[in-house]
Amino acid sequence: MATSVGSTATLSGYSAGTGIDVQGTVDQILYAERAQERQWQAQQQTLADQRTALQDLQSKLASFEDSVNSLKDYSGALGALTSTSSDSGVVTATADRTALAGIHSVTVDKLATTSSVYCDPLASASSTFTTTPLVLTIGGGPQVSINLDADHNTLQGASDFINSGDYGVTASVISDINGSRLALVSKQSGTAGDIQVVSGPPEMSFHVGTAAQDAALTVDGVSLVSSTNTLTGALQGVTLQLTGESAGRTVSVGVANDTDKAKQAIADFVSNYNTLIGAINSQFTYDESKKSAGVLAGDASVRGMQSTLLSAMSYAVVGNPNLTTLRSVGVEMNDDGTLAVNEEVLNQNLATHFSDVKSFFQSTDINGFARSLGGTLDALTDSTQGPLTLDLNGLDSTDKMLSQQVDDFEDRLALRQQTLLDQYSKIDTTLRQFPTIQAQLTAQLGSLK
């Protein structure tokens, strides 16, 4: 037996005298009527998959842009310099981007030392002394008076008090089997920090621990004096750290382009490009197992970005001696559009034509490769008008429209569900009463015989 209320459905669970499964019957009807809603939901799932794929491309595009910016940045990998020393036990060096490549000769005659003094030993750190000011001079400057009053007339008390103030020295208590001593070390190295004790408590007779001395050296034949063992002005952009005396022996300090950093930056560029172009290519590759291409296969913006990137890799710089294309630098394109580093060619260029490599990527006069590509990527990654951003905005707009359609449909379906429940409940009641009515009719007909 079947019935129809706006649509056709089997009366679930019906048997004579027991009624029907009202909820099951209504659910069958509503499932059929939800066909359009299921299509909308399938569209929303497709939109979600496309959104995930676009966001993944955005992330990979951002990483690629970072590697291009590194090649474009004057203070980045191609501007980095490295320094060497023929004897790090005498001098080491670090170079910033303002340094000039070259070889320099350094001789270290004397290292700078830091002045220190100490007093005769007292019994212990808690031993007291006469409350008399300790008067010092630092580097021949004005006298410094340290008021060691009754609250600070022990060695430890004096040390703590001196360290809490700004007297140009650091204090400590040094103890051994002979007792404890107050030691003072200048906060400034060289003769500018030389400590002289003018007067102090009679129990504290001071002696020189380390005599103050300035560093003495020659750089490229020029005699220099420094109050510290760290020199920043001897060579442009180079910091020299003196670590030992060379006893008249010359040490070579070299400054050169950091080819390792440059090579790594180019390798990162290739790797990030391959990751990006590989992800784009995969969207247009037919998958035999899934019998389909990627979810962005029909996206014209992604296809356009693929074309733009492939074209950008063939960009030629005009006016740069020796190096005009990526291939000439040592980066070759494969048949699938990915890039590969030709180690031999790149290493040779970095070793013998570094300035040309740098110009190829960075020069403003000839619109270097990285600078040109940077402009292209600026357009692709624009936060409001970039193609991937526009695509994502379009997906969001469509998704909101579909969500509204689903919500409206569900509102209508809720009313439809209540109507069906009322109607089928009446039918159920009638069917359940049928045996009783039938019995009554039979009885009445029987009484007429």
CATH code, domain carrying 205: 2.60.40
Half-sphere exposure of 189 (CA within 13 A, CB side): 12
Looking at every residue in the chain, the average pLDDT score rounds to 89
Half-sphere exposure of 240 (CA within 13 A, CB side): 31
Contact between residue 85 and residue 190 where contact means Cβ atoms under 8 Å apart:
no
Domain that holds residue 152: 116-210
- CA 212 to CA 190: how far, in whole Å? 5
131-135, 281-285, 289-293, 308-312: lowest mean pLDDT where? Answer: 289-293
- Identity of residue 152: H
Q: Are residues 99 and 194 in the same domain?
A: no
- CA 388 to CA 413: how far, in whole Å? 37
pLDDT of 308 higher than 90: yes
Instruction: Collapse the DSSP code of 15 into the 3-class scheme (helix H, G, I; strand E, B; otherwise coil) and give the result.
Output: strand
Q: Are residues 98 and 220 in the same domain?
A: yes
Q: Are residues 63 and 126 in the same domain?
A: no
Specify the residue for token string 């030389």.
Answer: 194
Q: Are residues 272 and 363 in the same domain?
A: yes
132 within domain boundaries: yes
Give the number of residues written for the chain: 449
pLDDT of 12 higher than 80: no
47 or 438, which is more confident: 47
pLDDT of 270 higher than 80: yes
pLDDT of 195 higher than 70: yes
Q: Are residues 91 and 238 in the same domain?
A: yes
* pLDDT score, position 448: 73
Instruction: Collapse the DSSP code of 272 into the 3-class scheme (helix H, G, I; strand E, B; otherwise coil) and give the result.
Output: helix
Mean pLDDT (whole number) for 195-210: 94
* pLDDT score, position 49: 85
- CA 164 to CA 31: how far, in whole Å? 82
- CA 64 to CA 56: how far, in whole Å? 12
At 405, phi and psi to the nearest 5?
A: -65, -40
Q: Are residues 100 and 143 in the same domain?
A: no
pTM of the entire structure? 0.71
pLDDT of 172 higher than 90: yes
- CA 320 to CA 326: how far, in whole Å? 12
129 within domain boundaries: yes
Half-sphere exposure of 94 (CA within 13 A, CB side): 6
* pLDDT score, position 91: 97
For the chain, percent of residues with pLDDT exceeding 90:
63
pLDDT of 8 higher than 90: no
Q: Are residues 219 and 91 in the same domain?
A: yes
79-83, 268-272, 326-330, 423-427: lowest mean pLDDT where? Answer: 423-427
Task: Tell me the pLDDT band of 4, cut-offs 50, 70 and 90.
Answer: very low
Q: In what order do the strands lie in the sheet containing 91-95? A: 91-95, 238-242, 230-235
83-92, 142-151, 402-411: lowest mean pLDDT where? Answer: 402-411
Contact between residue 167 and residue 136 where contact means Cβ atoms under 8 Å apart:
yes
Task: Tell me the pLDDT band of 243, cut-offs 50, 70 and 90.
Answer: very high
Take residue 4 and report the two structure tokens written for it: 């129809």
441 within domain boundaries: no
pLDDT of 344 higher than 70: yes
Contact between residue 171 and residue 197 where contact means Cβ atoms under 8 Å apart:
no
pLDDT of 197 higher than 60: yes
At 231, phi and psi to the nearest 5?
A: -115, 125
Choose among 198, 209, 171: nearest CA to 187: 171
Mean pLDDT (whole number) for 440-449: 73
Task: Tell me the pLDDT band of 17, cut-offs 50, 70 and 90.
Answer: low
Choose among 372, 262, 385: nearest CA to 311: 372
Take residue 317 and report the two structure tokens written for it: 């710089």
The domain boundary residue, chosen from 190, 225, 257? 257
Helices and strands, counts by H and E, the chain: 10, 19
Instruction: Collapse the DSSP code of 112 into the 3-class scheme (helix H, G, I; strand E, B; otherwise coil) and give the result.
Output: coil
Q: Dump pLDDT digits (tens) for 346-397.
A: 999 999 999 999 999 998 877 899 999 999 999 999 989 999 999 989 888 8
Mean pLDDT (whole number) for 38-58: 88
Take residue 286 and report the two structure tokens written for it: 């037919």
154 within domain boundaries: yes
The domain boundary residue, chosen from 363, 381, 399? 381
Q: How many domains does the chain have?
A: 4
**Helical segments of 326-386, H only:** 326-329, 343-352, 354-362, 369-380
Q: Are residues 374 and 273 in the same domain?
A: yes
Specify burial of residue 256 (Cβ count, 10 A radius: 0-12, 13-18, 19+): middle
- CA 94 to CA 421: how far, in whole Å? 84
pLDDT of 236 higher than 80: yes
pLDDT of 422 higher than 70: yes
Q: Are residues 317 and 237 in the same domain?
A: no
445 within domain boundaries: no
Take residue 435 and report the two structure tokens written for it: 């045996």
191 within domain boundaries: yes
Q: Are residues 265 and 372 in the same domain?
A: yes
Q: Are residues 307 and 332 in the same domain?
A: yes
* pLDDT score, position 309: 96
- CA 414 to CA 421: how far, in whole Å? 11
Beta bridge partners of 84: 254
Task: Tell me the pLDDT band of 18, cut-offs 50, 70 and 90.
Answer: low
208 or 415, which is more confident: 208
Q: Dump pLDDT digits (tens) for 213-235.
A: 999 999 999 999 999 999 998 99
Mean pLDDT (whole number) for 26-32: 83
Q: Dump pLDDT digits (tens) for 275-290.
A: 999 999 999 888 777 7
Tell me how crowded residue 102 is: count the other CB atoms within 10 A of its CB. 13
449 within domain boundaries: no
Task: Tell me the pLDDT band of 7, cut-offs 50, 70 and 90.
Answer: very low
Q: Are residues 153 and 180 in the same domain?
A: yes
Give 405-413 contacts, CB < 8 A, sequence gap 24+.
405/40, 406/37, 406/40, 406/41, 406/44, 409/36, 409/37, 409/40, 410/37, 413/30, 413/33, 413/34, 413/37
Mean pLDDT (whole number) for 318-342: 93
Mean pLDDT (whole number) for 171-191: 95
pLDDT of 342 higher than 80: yes
440 within domain boundaries: no
pLDDT of 271 higher than 60: yes
Mean pLDDT (whole number) for 35-44: 84
Contact between residue 19 and residue 432 where contact means Cβ atoms under 8 Å apart:
yes
- CA 247 to CA 19: how far, in whole Å? 113
For the chain, percent of residues with pLDDT exceeding 70:
96
